[in-house]
Amino acid sequence: MKKDVIIACDFAGREQTLSFLDRFSGRKPFVKIGMELFYAEGPQIVREIRRRGHPVFLDLKLHDIPNTVKKAMSVLRDLDVEICNLHAAGTVRMMEAALEGLTRSDGTRPKLIAVTQLTSTDETALREELWIDHPMRDTVMHYARSAKKAGLDGVVCSPLEAKSVHEACGADFLTVTPGIRFAGGEAGDQKRVMTPSDARAQGCDYIVVGRPITAAADPAEAYERCLREFAKPDGET
């Protein structure tokens, strides 16, 4: 499995996103498109970014009844993205239905990963609002195992959880991890952060990096730095 850096393109609209991507003259970075941009610009923005040659992680976090998710996934399937996602809380049956919807007639499909528990949910909200009487860590691992059971390819998780997820679900089960900051960089609103090289040491498969690249004076340089630290060729430490 090849490790890669995914840039979170958390921009409000098309112009801003495309002029940001214009700054990368060499290799076309893997980009994450989230709800804000997708709801503002629609599927056309995904097609345009794909046409420019960028692999895309479409971060729409679906969660509905199995039939609805299956049909929605069959629409997303035709956008030719690399990775889609959903909430594991939607149940194993919903995740299985999502996979059916995503699978093309030739058997190929985008990778599908699950959100276990949002990092914005703390232990108190887990217990008092969601009424889940297990510690956060156990809950995250349980949801990761449900995603594995449903046949998904991996989960979005904290880099701090990547090792345990691999132990519980196998080395091939993908860990896609946000919450990345350069050593000495601003954490912003992220509570638990890790550097690209520490994320590599934890065995993360992909890191999702937003502001350390999007808000950098030279985004292309910051991206190259992430690649150097996280995705060095095998054999280097």
CB 12 within 8 A of CB 212: no
Q: Distances from the Cα of 53 to the Cαs of 42, 48, 125, 140, 152, in angstroms?
A: 18, 9, 41, 34, 25
Nearest to 28 by CA among 207, 227, 177, 218: 227
Query: Going by DSSP bridges, is the β-strand pair 30-34/174-177 parallel, antiparallel, or unpaired?
Result: unpaired
The one among 156, 169, 194, 222 contacting ligand C5P by CB under 6 A: 156
Q: Which lies closer to ligand C5P via its Cβ, residue 66 or residue 210?
A: 210
The one among 90, 101, 178, 196 contacting ligand C5P by CB under 6 A: 178
- 10 contacts ligand C5P (rule: CB under 6 A): yes
Stretch that binds ligand C5P, among 39-47, 49-57, 145-153, 177-185 (CB under 6 A): 177-185
Residue at shortest CB range from ligand C5P: 210
The one among 190, 216, 225, 232 contacting ligand C5P by CB under 6 A: 190
Tokens representing residue 98 in the block? 């999502």
- 210 contacts ligand C5P (rule: CB under 6 A): yes
Taking the CA atoms of 136, 142, 147 and 148 in sequence, report the sign of the dihedral they define: positive
Q: Which lies closer to ligand C5P via its Cβ, residue 8 or residue 72?
A: 8
What is the rounded distance in angstroms from the CA atom of residue 167 to the CA atom of residue 184? 30
Q: What's the 3-state SS for 9-43?
A: CCCCCHHHHHHHHCCCCCCCCEEEEEHHHHHHHCH
- 148 contacts ligand C5P (rule: CB under 6 A): no
In whole angstroms, how close is the CB of 212 to ligand C5P at the nearest point? 6
The one among 101, 179, 196, 219 contacting ligand C5P by CB under 6 A: 179
Number of residues lying near ligand C5P (CB under 6 A): 15
The one among 69, 99, 211, 229 contacting ligand C5P by CB under 6 A: 211
In whole angstroms, how close is the CB of 108 to ligand C5P at the nearest point? 26
CB neighbour class for 34 (10 Å; exposed up to 12, middle 13-18, buried from 19): middle
Q: Which lies closer to ligand C5P via its Cβ, residue 10 or residue 96?
A: 10
